[in-house]
Amino acid sequence: MLTSLADGRLLAEKTGATPPAVFALHGWQRTGNDFGRIVDGLDAVAPNFPGASPAAEPPTEVWGSPEYAELIADAIRPFGPVVIVAHSFGGRVAVHVAAQYPELVRGLVLTGVPLLRLQAPPKAALGYRMLKRLAALGLVSKARLDAERRKRGSADYNAAQGIVRDIFVKVVNEDYRDAMARVTVPVRMVWGESDTSAPADAGLAASKLIPDARFRVVPGAGHLLEGSLETAVRHDLLELLLEVDSQ
């Protein structure tokens, strides 16, 4: 069932009773429904991010992870601290929530979150850099520059339009090192062995920057919350809930 959070600024899928023990944060252009089987039987809510989900209207300004984290913190605050389970983009937000609002978070379960680049992105081709310069001088149309960007952009970049594309660009260029170092709650990181969106080696490197993180790889699993990865994330979520309840 649907419920509203943060004074109506968020719509969320709800399971179980109130207050929720779990907040589930979805990936880019996904929805809270991704966590249906993971939170089955739990008191949980899975918000749909404004602009980062087709189920919610975008914000009126270009947000980054800290702004999304502020909204999620406002949603959690009436209920008290929760465990956050988060996938991909949602994990970027979850790390900021745990770093900025530690009193609201009991623990994190992260999967497929692009938190760290092991290599610098390749430099744009000389021809494209020249085209950008000419566009800045007004000698090349914006339409032509946009067409060239689409040729080089990812599927997510090309699918996004307007302010959603601006949000996407801002988020993928953020640095999470400082936020990861400030996370003090227990963190469980569950990665698909064949994840190409957030490779496992980068996930392992990120885990070493988080003080209380455990990292494991699910053989044969990819990026999306399905099959063996979905099962493993639920297992670690249930295990972490038991751990924090016993403290």
Per-residue pLDDT tens digits for 182-192? 999 999 999 99
Same domain (yes/no): 162, 188: no
Which domain range does residue 13 map to?
A: 2-119+175-245
Instruction: Report the pLDDT value the prediction gives residue 176, as an integer from 0 to 100.
Output: 95
Angstrom distance (rounded) from CA 16 to CA 102: 25
Mean pLDDT of 34-62: 95
Mean pLDDT, the chain, integer: 90
Same domain (yes/no): 234, 131: no
Same domain (yes/no): 72, 96: yes
Is 142's pLDDT higher than 90? Answer: no
Strands 187-192, 213-218: pairing is: parallel
Mean pLDDT of 17-41: 96
Is 231's pLDDT higher than 80? Answer: yes
Is 211's pLDDT higher than 70? Answer: yes
Same domain (yes/no): 33, 54: yes
pLDDT band at 151 (very low <50, low <70, confident <90, very high): low
pLDDT band at 242 (very low <50, low <70, confident <90, very high): very high
Of 52, 57, 21, 16, the residue nearest 36 (C-alpha):
16
Is 125's pLDDT higher than 80? Answer: no
Is 95's pLDDT higher than 90? Answer: yes
Same domain (yes/no): 188, 154: no
Instruction: Report the pLDDT value the prediction gives residue 165, as an integer from 0 to 100.
Output: 87
Per the model's pLDDT, the better-predicted residue between 57 and 138 turns out to be 57
Q: Which CATH number characterizes residue 83's domain?
A: 3.40.50.1820
Same domain (yes/no): 20, 130: no
pLDDT band at 55 (very low <50, low <70, confident <90, very high): confident
pLDDT band at 157 (very low <50, low <70, confident <90, very high): low
What DSSP character marks residue 125? P
- In the sheet with 10-15, reading across from the earlier edge strand, the strands are 2-5, 10-15, 44-47, 22-25, 82-87, 105-111, 187-192, 213-218
Instruction: Report the pLDDT value the prediction gives residue 162, as an integer from 0 to 100.
Output: 83
Same domain (yes/no): 142, 23: no
pLDDT band at 39 (very low <50, low <70, confident <90, very high): very high
pLDDT tens digits for 76-94?
Answer: 999 999 999 999 999 999 9
Give the burial class of 182: count Cβ atoms within 10 A of its Cβ; 0-12 exposed, 13-18 middle, 19 or more buried.
Answer: middle
Tell me the residue type at 108: L
Could you give the number of structural domains in the chain? 2
Q: In which residue are the tokens 């943060």 written?
A: 6
